[in-house]
Chains A and B, each alone.
Chain A
Amino acid sequence: MNKKQKLMLIRIIISLLMMVALFFIPSSGALRLVLYIIPYLIVGYDILIKAFKGIIRGQVLDECFLMATATVGAFALAIYENSGDYTEAIAVMLFYQIGELFQSYAVGKSRKNITELMDIRPDYANIEKDGKLEKVDPDDVGIGSTIIVQPGEKVPIDGIVIEGNSTLNTAALTGESLPREVQSGDEIISGSINITGLLKIKTTKEFGESTVSKILDLVENASSRKSRSEDFISKFARIYTPAVCIGALLLAILPPVVRIAVGLDAAWESWIYRALTFLVISCPCALVISIPLSFFAGLGGSSNAGILVKGSNYMETLSKTKIVVFDKTGTLTQGVFEVNGIHHNTIENEKIIEYAALAESSSSHPIAKSLQKEYGREIDRTRVSDVREISGKGIIATVDGHTVACGNEGLMEYLSIRSIPCHSIGTIVHVAIDGAYTGHIVISDVVKPNAAEAIRKLRAAGIRKTVMLTGDRKATAEKIAKELGIEEVYSELLPSDKVEKVESILKTKSNDEKLAFVGDGINDAPVLGRADIGIAMGAMGSDAAIEAADVVLMDDDPLKIAKAIRISQKCMRIVYENIVFAIGVKALCLILGAVGIANMWLAIFADVGVMVLAVLNAIRALFVKKL
């Protein structure tokens, strides 16, 4: 509690104690009034002062004014009726203040909790100077400097490990609790925590450009992008208070006038009392506080799970997602090609891989990389000579004095060698040695282990349609789609075709259904931008993806897509619950107050109660672990 809140609490307690004491002390007349005014002033003087200031500035409809009017009015009625019942006026003020105190405490507390949850900001960087470690502001460290990260410290700036081995905890970034091993030469991302060993890191970025700064920036600004629900509530609040006040005024004047007209007793006191009850319910605070708080908690919870939603508005759109379009490579598949089979080979497996790897040793193509990886040993370049690349077909090179040809069917045709076609899915590398066909190697992308479950979970989360887009061959694409349970596949697409495909799918859906596109963010920025909501995955360290997407998944686990949607659905459900609940209870109180069933006690209880419940409900959006 801060100073202001503590003071408020003391005022509330003193006032409450005085009320209890006054209940047992018999008094009457003017003395009674004075005795009761003391606790009233103690608990409500700031409201009265603010109300007075408001009147001077012409801000008549602010909540302090309304509270002051309601309670002073109640006092006046009690004096007029000579009932001596001042408890009600004080109670209204007391409960109003208790409500305000709770609200400011709860909001402050949850703000602190949520920001702590997202606190990945490193406070310092260690620099070695004259053999000693010196702590400096990460902002002052230039690109190419060497920083030292000790066990237990946060990595402050992106860089490359130049010395040391360690394991990193990336949970704060990705939500993934499995530690990651790093050694010299590995890229390292700021925001992760060094667990075991001392690391020397050469920085590759400035602090402001590092992953941790980008993420912090994104998370902190997310709640500034307001959703439609928030706009609705702030508009509603602007109309609600004046409307209730006008209602109160009408209620105070019209019925008595009508009663006089038809010859009944005017009953002014009763109607003015009901009008004052109206004023007690006129404060829109429960509504106005609970909506941004729900979003804030939802955004905080999701970023703690490694899902960065860039704004409350995207949270809203994400919850309405009905169609999910995937880019295949890097999202459903690993984007890493592996040798998956060797067929019709006339020499042993190791030998054919060795020749192919050597022949392709000068190429940086992913296929060449995967051959080299399968070979697994150091490539001795001196064994390779006369490398000729036949564009779009493959490579011919001399290895250990043998002419080795590696490539597609086209290359074999070009060399007039009869190749054996392959029935497997993937990229086929035919190999011929000294003009004789030696067999072919099948290289294919590997489906992520969680991909099929991810699709199932998406369906369980209410996704109507899943679509896969890929530049791959039709046979490959369809096999993967079938394996994963994806309904629609569009294959052999160029990057520009993907935008068109997404546009044509967008046309087939209704406006209430939203389309999400999931990509790896590397070369699909235009598609990410075109979809209703762009989700980039495996974005850790990729600035382009963080820029282009609306939702950023820090790691590359496809299960997170369904989780993100579930989090947004939960968050929106809470938002709607709060809207309906708060407006509903207020409307009910207004009606009961107008017909004279609800008195001020009930009105203030309902008002404060709704606010407490709405705030507690909003905080529920933070808990996303089990989704």
Chain B
Amino acid sequence: MKKTYNIAVDCAACANKMENAAKKTEGVKDCTVNFMMQRMIVEFEDTADRKAVMENVRKNCKKVESDAEVYI
């Protein structure tokens, strides 16, 4: 199950950090952050609760880049 979310992030290096942070979140199978389109494409594990996982993704992203925002 893949879903796309809008994000706001200022620098490309930060976008890469967010991608890594999201990838490490439990329930996320894979994640791609597209800095140019300001989008995050998240592939969830089959059993994952999408809402809860995205809350964690957002929290983890904020941890690595406090200015960034993920619009759930």
In chain A, positions 56-84 with a C-beta closer than 8 Å to chain B are 57, 59, 62-63
Stretch in A286-294, A459-467, A499-507 with 4+ CB within 8 Å of B = A286-294
Does A104 lie at the interface of the complex (its beta carbon under 8 Å from any beta carbon of B)? yes
* CB of B72 closer than 8 Å to a CB of A: no
The answer to whether A288 touches B12, judged by C-beta atoms less than 8 angstroms apart, is: yes
Instruction: Please give, as numbers and ranges, the residues of chain B lying within 8 Å of A63 by CB-CB distance.
Output: 13
For the complex, give the distance between the alpha carbons of A169 and B20 in Å.
44
CA separation between A111 and B37, bound complex, in Å?
8
Q: Taking each of A103, A237, A288, which has the highest tally of chain B beta carbons within 10 Å of its own beta carbon? A: A288
B13 touches A223 (CB 8 A): no
Q: With A223-B34, A223-B36, A224-B39 known to touch, is A50 a contact of B10 (CB < 8 Å)?
A: no
Task: Note all chain A residues with C-beta closer than 8 A to B24.
Answer: none
Binary contact track A357-393/B, C-beta < 8 Å → 1, others 0: 0000000000000000000000000000000000000
**Considering the chains assembled together, what is the distance between the CA atoms of A283 and B12 in angstroms?**
11
Give Cα distance in the complex from A59 to B18, angstroms: 13
Say whether B12 contacts A224, CB under 8 Å.
no
Residue B48, interface by CB 8 Å = no
In the bound complex, CA of A54 to CA of B63 (Å): 8
Contact A50 B67 (CB under 8 A): yes
Asked if B67 contacts A292 (CB within 8 A), the reply is no
Most A CB contacts (10 A, CB to CB) among B11, B39, B63 go to B11
- For residue A100, CB closer than 8 A to chain B, the reply is yes
Given contacts A53-B66, A224-B37, contact A285 B12 (CB under 8 A): yes
CB neighbours (8 Å) of A234 from chain B are 16, 19
The answer, yes or no, to whether A337 is at the interface (CB within 8 Å) is no
Chain B residue nearest in CB terms to A46 = B67
CB-CB under 8 A from B63, the residues of chain A are 57, 59
Interface residues of A in 198-220 (CB under 8 A from B): 220
- Contact residues in A for B67 (Cβ distance below 8 Å): 50
Given contacts A59-B63, A100-B11, contact A237 B16 (CB under 8 A): yes
Give which listed residue, A62, A100, A104, A292, contacts B36 with CB less than 8 A.
A292
Say yes or no: is A296 at the interface (Cβ < 8 Å to chain B). yes
**Does A226 lie at the interface of the complex (its beta carbon under 8 Å from any beta carbon of B)?**
yes
Cβ contacts A415-437/B at 8 Å (1 or 0 each)? 00000000000000000000000
Residues of B within 8 A of A296 (CB): 36
Within 8 Å by CB of A59, from B12, B39, B64, lies B64
In the complex, are the beta carbons of A284 and B10 less than 8 A apart?
Answer: no
- The answer to whether B32 and A224 have CB atoms under 8 Å apart is yes
| B-contact bits for A274-290, CB 8 A (1 contact / 0 none) | 00000000011100110
How far is B35's CA from A360's CA once the two chains are assembled, in angstroms?
59
Q: Is B53 positioned at the interface, with any CB of A under 8 Å from its CB? A: no
Nearest CB in chain A: distance from B64 CB, A: 6
Interface residues of B in 1-41 (CB under 8 A from A): 10-13, 16-17, 19-20, 32, 34-39, 41
Q: In the complex, what distance in Å separates the CA atom of A480 from the CA atom of B66?
A: 63
Chain A positions within 8 Å of B, measured between CB atoms, are: 50, 53-54, 57, 59, 62-63, 100, 103-104, 107, 111, 220, 223-224, 226, 234, 237-238, 283-285, 288-289, 292-293, 296
Residues of B within 8 A of A (CB): 10-13, 16-17, 19-20, 32, 34-39, 41, 63-67
> Top 3 nearest A-B pairs by Cβ distance?
A289-B12, A296-B36, A288-B12
